[in-house]
Amino acid sequence: MATAKKSPAKKAPAKKAPARKSAAPAKKSTRARADATTLLAKDHKDVKALFKRYEKLSKAEADGSERQELAEQICRMLTVHAQIEEEIFYPAVREAEVDEDLLDEAEVEHASAKDLIAQIQSMSPEDDLYDAKVTVLGEYINHHVEEEEGQMFPKARRAKVDLEGLAGRLTERKQALMSESGATEDVADMTS
Ligand SMILES: [Fe+2]
Ligand SMILES: [Fe+2]
């Protein structure tokens, strides 16, 4: 009966600061209390990256199934994002009497984005306008995001909306919606 002995050769490699070339800059700690605007901005960033990836696929005339899979992921992410904003974030901001016109416009923009999303979801990636619709959706979302991050979020902060309290509700609702839509891998991507 041999006693289990750990091989002395198994030394933990010495930690050294790797000099990676263009690796992401050191992660800022996000543990300093989640804030609703930070979470929503993270979604914006994630979906922007997916649109970029789509653009590359489209330029490379990638296979329809590959483009469709990515477009569907974008549509699911945006649908969930819009829903949590509409259910939780916008009403809280509205209640704090933050720029009503801005909120009205944001809701109208959501409705238009959803129309485009519905069109994309009902199309075949081989249809002539498929790529164009995804591209236009991306441009549209960019504009919308600029207004949220540039105007609505700062106004919400100034109005002392309980952004930390909303963060928990947003995360919970988002995870529930994502798993309902079967997009568990998206959840993994977005909660890191
Ligand atoms: Fe947003
Ligand atoms: Fe929005």
**Secondary structure string (H, E, C) spanning 72-99:** HHHHHHHHHHHHHHHHHHHHHHHHCCCC
* Residue 38 CB contacts under 8 Å (≥ 6 apart), including other chains: 30, 167
The rounded Å distance from CA 107 to ligand 2 centre is: 7
- The conformation of residue 21, written as its DSSP 8-state character, comes to S
Residues less than 5 Å from ion ligand 1, measured at CB? 40, 148
Q: Cα–Cα distance between 42 and 97 in angstroms, integer?
A: 25
State the average pLDDT over residues 133-162: 96
Could you give the percent of the chain with pLDDT greater than 70?
78
Per-residue pLDDT at 141:
98
Ligand at shortest distance from the CA of 39: 1
Q: How many CB atoms lie within 10 A of CB 68?
A: 19
In the predicted structure, residue 23 carries a pLDDT above the cut 80:
no
Could you give the percent of the chain with pLDDT greater than 90?
73
Model confidence at 16, pLDDT cuts 50, 70, 90, reads: very low
The rounded Å distance from CA 58 to ligand 2 centre is: 25
Per-residue pLDDT at 179:
87
Answer whether 86's CB lies under 8 Å from 109's CB: no
The rounded Å distance from CA 84 to ligand 2 centre is: 9
Six-digit token string for 66 = 């590959």
pTM for the model: 0.79
The rounded Å distance from CA 150 to ligand 1 centre is: 11
Say which range, 6-20, 61-75, 103-117, has the weakest mean pLDDT.
Answer: 6-20
State the average pLDDT over residues 20-31: 48
Could you tell me which residue, 86 or 184, shows the higher pLDDT?
Answer: 86
In the predicted structure, residue 51 carries a pLDDT above the cut 50:
yes
Q: What is the mean pLDDT of the chain?
A: 85
In the predicted structure, residue 83 carries a pLDDT above the cut 70:
yes
The rounded Å distance from CA 55 to ligand 1 centre is: 21
Answer whether 38's CB lies under 8 Å from 190's CB: no
Model confidence at 44, pLDDT cuts 50, 70, 90, reads: very high
Residue type, 55: E
In the predicted structure, residue 94 carries a pLDDT above the cut 80:
yes
Determine the Cα angle at 89 with ends 73 and 71, to 5°. 10
State the average pLDDT over residues 165-191: 78
Per-residue pLDDT at 39:
97
Per-residue pLDDT at 183:
64
Q: What are the helix (H) ranges across 148-183?
A: 153-158, 163-180
Answer whether 119's CB lies under 8 Å from 133's CB: yes
